[in-house]
């Protein structure tokens, strides 16, 4: 996310562990179209910066100085063993799904169904192998498989997964129904109650929103006043989709929703703090009033937040915050290294944060100078990786992760190194 001084937006980073969404992240930039960049405007006096806080992203408006599988969810609540006939139906549905391409989220949903059934030990690995060879999918297929899984074997966590898919499709009533079902199955688990309250709060605001649907993005907004902003944002995001895709070979197969809130609606829908300007929780959510700095600032913000969204939805497994934020800054069309790396001046290897400090997000940071330093470090570390193995190395890293390797193993393969050595090498320059 982009870093700023006054406003910070909170978002969920669903790193292709499909947002447990994986950790949340603040609003990220979006993908470019072939339309080309719009003319640059005069540099604003402030700029937007995002922060990953406990898996969520915050966007902050700061002055420009001269010169971001449901990890926190409760264990599944199991009921009676599935009926053999229901399992036959479920496994048949999985076999039918193999006729269409699916991504790892669909694989996960299908494996949930397979585990719920009393399939033979030979059936399960065969299904898993066949599913894992597929790529690129439709959320409707995942939704169908999860619904079958619920009929076969009800668990609160599976109901929550189904609700998450419905929410991703902007089907508020279905998402709320699924969350209520999860609460009924596990009434003593506060995580489900909190999730239900979040959904009800958001859709109480968004039920009156208009929608623009395009191939890669869906914009939701209230009234004609924000329609022009929505269209401008979609144009920039589509541009980002192509340019970021060319850079790191990640092209989300499902449309990403961008929601614009006016006035008090942003806080009413998200429960964010007063200074929050945007967030990403599987959707890019933006307080429209924070986008008054001109088209250049909007383009940087959307590119930045889109990068977070692309990584979160298209990479299998968690990606450390320093890489998320470093890459997100690199893809901004208006990147100014002189400005963004300025916080590093005067520091030595002993005063810089370590990669481990920068891996989990910047949620513990309260000092603004420390926040700016953390973002500068993230950008500088990613620049170091580019100097070492080139810009295409990120595409190779994510490809290895999507083939099943952990971040650590994939990083070692691509950079012939590990994070500890990178830390020593990077800080050794200071």
- Mean pLDDT within 203-208: 89
46 and 107 in a single domain? The answer is no
- Measured in whole angstroms, the distance separating CA 57 from the mean position of its chain's CA atoms is 9
53 and 119 in a single domain? The answer is no
The model's confidence at residue 279, banded by pLDDT at 50, 70 and 90, is confident
CA–CA dist 307, 291 (Å, integer): 18
54 and 174 in a single domain? The answer is no
- As for how many domains the chain has, the answer is 2
Return the structure tokens found at 244: 């970021």
Q: What is the pLDDT of residue 230?
A: 87
- Residue 335's φ and ψ, nearest 5 degrees, are -50, 130
Q: What is the pLDDT of residue 26?
A: 37
356 and 242 in a single domain? The answer is yes
Q: Of 188, 223, 251, which one is at a domain's C-terminal end?
A: 188
pLDDT digits (tens, 9 = 90+) for 110-143: 766 666 665 444 444 454 444 444 434 466 677 8
Helix (H, G, I), strand (E, B) or coil at 320: coil
> Tell me, what CATH number does 141's domain have?
1.25.40
Q: What is the pLDDT of residue 208?
A: 85
241 and 350 in a single domain? The answer is yes
pLDDT digits (tens, 9 = 90+) for 366-378: 677 888 899 999 9
pLDDT digits (tens, 9 = 90+) for 33-90: 333 333 333 334 445 555 554 444 555 555 555 443 333 333 333 344 445 566 666 6
The model's confidence at residue 414, banded by pLDDT at 50, 70 and 90, is very high
Question: Does a structural domain hold residue 247?
Answer: yes
269 and 356 in a single domain? The answer is yes
Of 293, 285, 298, which is closest to residue 221 (Cα–Cα)?
285
95 and 152 in a single domain? The answer is yes
Question: Does a structural domain hold residue 369?
Answer: yes
Token look-up 């669903």 returns 14
Question: Does a structural domain hold residue 129?
Answer: yes
Helix (H, G, I), strand (E, B) or coil at 61: strand
- Measured in whole angstroms, the distance separating CA 278 from the mean position of its chain's CA atoms is 13
Question: Does a structural domain hold residue 79?
Answer: no
Between strands 278-280 and 284-287, the pairing is antiparallel
242 and 296 in a single domain? The answer is yes
Token look-up 């001109």 returns 294
174 and 306 in a single domain? The answer is no
Question: Does a structural domain hold residue 412?
Answer: yes
> Tell me, what CATH number does 290's domain have?
1.10.390
Sequence-distant (6+) residues with CB within 8 A of 351 are none
- Mean pLDDT within 200-229: 87
CA–CA dist 342, 40 (Å, integer): 22
Largest Cα–Cα distance of the chain, in whole Å?
Answer: 70
Check if the beta carbon of residue 27 is closer than 8 Å to that of residue 272: no
Q: What is the pLDDT of residue 88?
A: 67
Domain that holds residue 142: 84-188
CA–CA dist 269, 160 (Å, integer): 20
Output 94 or 7, whichever has higher pLDDT: 94
Q: Of 188, 221, 250, which one is at a domain's C-terminal end?
A: 188
- Mean pLDDT within 190-217: 91
Q: pTM above the 0.85 mark? A: no
DSSP codes of every residue in 250-261:
---SSPEEEEEE
Return the structure tokens found at 281: 């929780």
144 and 194 in a single domain? The answer is no
Helix (H, G, I), strand (E, B) or coil at 380: helix
Helices (H), 59-119: 84-97, 104-116
Between strands 56-63 and 46-53, the pairing is antiparallel
Question: Does a structural domain hold residue 42?
Answer: yes
229 and 280 in a single domain? The answer is yes
Q: What is the pLDDT of residue 119?
A: 47
Q: Of 166, 188, 210, which one is at a domain's C-terminal end?
A: 188
Return the structure tokens found at 61: 């408006």
CA–CA dist 264, 266 (Å, integer): 6
265 and 391 in a single domain? The answer is yes
């Amino acid at each position: 996310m982009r870093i700023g001084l006054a406003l910070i937006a909170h978002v969920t980073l669903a790193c292709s562990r499909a947002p447990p969404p994986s950790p949340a992240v603040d609003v990220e930039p979006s993908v470019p179209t072939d339309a080309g960049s719009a003319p640059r405007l005069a540099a604003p006096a402030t700029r937007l910066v995002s922060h990953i806080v406990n898996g969520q992203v915050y966007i902050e408006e700061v002055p420009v100085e001269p010169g971001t599988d449901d990890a926190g969810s409760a264990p599944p609540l199991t009921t009676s063993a599935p009926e053999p006939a229901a399992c036959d139906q479920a496994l048949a549905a999985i076999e039918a799904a193999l006729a269409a391409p699916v991504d790892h989220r669909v694989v996960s949903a299908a494996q949930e169904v397979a585990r719920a059934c009393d399939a033979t030990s030979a059936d399960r690995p065969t299904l898993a192998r066949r599913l894992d060879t597929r790529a690129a999918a439709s959320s409707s297929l995942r939704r169908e498989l999860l619904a079958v899984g619920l009929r076969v074997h009800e668990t609160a966590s599976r109901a929550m997964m189904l609700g998450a898919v419905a929410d991703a499709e902007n089907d508020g009533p279905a998402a709320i129904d699924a969350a209520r079902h999860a609460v009924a199955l596990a009434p003593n688990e506060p995580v489900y109650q909190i999730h239900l309250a979040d959904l009800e709060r958001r859709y109480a605001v968004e039920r009156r929103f208009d929608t623009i649907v395009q191939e890669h993005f869906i914009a939701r907004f209230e009234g004609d006043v924000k329609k022009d902003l929505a269209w401008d944002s979609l144009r920039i995001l589509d541009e980002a989709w192509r340019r970021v895709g060319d850079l790191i070979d990640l092209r989300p197969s499902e449309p990403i929703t961008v929601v614009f809130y006016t006035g008090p609606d942003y806080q009413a829908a998200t429960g964010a703090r007063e200074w929050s300007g945007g967030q990403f929780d599987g959707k890019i959510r933006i307080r429209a009033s924070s986008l008054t700095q001109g088209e250049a600032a909007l383009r940087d913000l959307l590119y930045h937040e889109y990068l977070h969204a692309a990584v979160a939805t298209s990479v299998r497994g968690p990606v450390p915050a320093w890489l998320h934020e470093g890459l997100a800054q690199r893809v901004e069309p208006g990147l100014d290294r002189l400005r963004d790396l300025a916080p590093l001046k005067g520091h030595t290897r002993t005063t810089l944060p370590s990669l481990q400090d920068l891996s989990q997000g910047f949620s513990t940071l309260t000092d603004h100078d420390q926040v700016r330093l953390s973002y500068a470090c993230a950008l500088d570390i990613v620049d170091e990786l580019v100097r070492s193995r080139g810009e295409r190395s990120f595409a190779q890293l994510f490809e290895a992760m999507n083939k099943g390797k952990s971040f650590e193993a994939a990083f070692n393969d691509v950079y012939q190194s590990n994070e500890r050595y990178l830390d020593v090498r990077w800080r050794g320059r200071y």
